Structure 1
Amino acid sequence: MLYASAQDMRDRYDNLDTLLFQPGSDTPNEKKLTQALNDAGALADSYLSAKYALPLAVVPQVLVQHCCAIAFYYLCDQQATDQARDRYREALTWLREVKSGSIPVGVDEAGSAPASDDLPQMQAEAPVFGRNQKGFI
């Protein structure tokens, strides 16, 4: 699932178009950007599916941020900077922690959070004693 859009990437990274230009072309390769975003979403899904029902009804901003960092790292190919590599590693660490349940996935701009499938459930029999029995069964 796509958690980030091409516009999200352009808002975050000023030098994005320089990564998308191919030699001998005047226009950026949007297909390469879409593929990187799809790959980042698939990676996020592989972690999120352990804890949440997919697709997420609510996409938290922190997830968009980390998917953009992963997609940008994928676009860098062989010339990834230390900053891009560090952001990629931080995103993977965050996804691992979400998978393990040590941190929640977060909320969107409206304050809504996705429902988790990994919550404890309790089930019990009806009570034996009640207030109106007054000590007798």
Structure 2
Amino acid sequence: MDVVTTFLYGVLDEEIFMRQPPSFVRKGQESLVCKLLKSLYGLKQSPRQWNKWFDEFMKTQGFTRSVEDPCVYLKRVNNEVFGLVILVLYVDDMLIVAKGKSEVEKVKAQLSTEFSMKDLGSAKLILGMEIHRDVKGGRL
């Protein structure tokens, strides 16, 4: 999955002002500035604000953040031994793994209620690693 316009989701914790974009400047108002209400691409606070927003949302959906890796979220499903949904986040790309396809679809639907998402289909490559599936053998 891919989050569309990732860094525009974060709410800023501080007041930040920027110069007007050249196309907005009117004669006699060149000294006016814009107050940012939300994150913006290129703003150094944007990645942190996006991450905070995402983390808070995942917690409301019953996920817990891994202590070992803060980019990994886990959620128990039906108290089964292998009943676990794992979501791995890398900036705005995510990999969702679960025992059943219905659990993956459920997580995708939850994410789509909060963020504009693009479904990239079954993962074939992530972080430079190729993913090979042996569906008959039940192996990755």
Q: Give the TM-score taking structure 2 as reference length.
A: 0.23
> Which one has a larger percent strand, Structure 1 or Structure 2?
2
Considering Cα pairs closer than 8 Å and 6+ residues apart, tell me whether 1 or 2 has the greater RCO: 1
> Which one has a larger percent helix, Structure 1 or Structure 2?
1
Q: Give the TM-score taking structure 1 as reference length.
A: 0.24
Larger Rg: 1
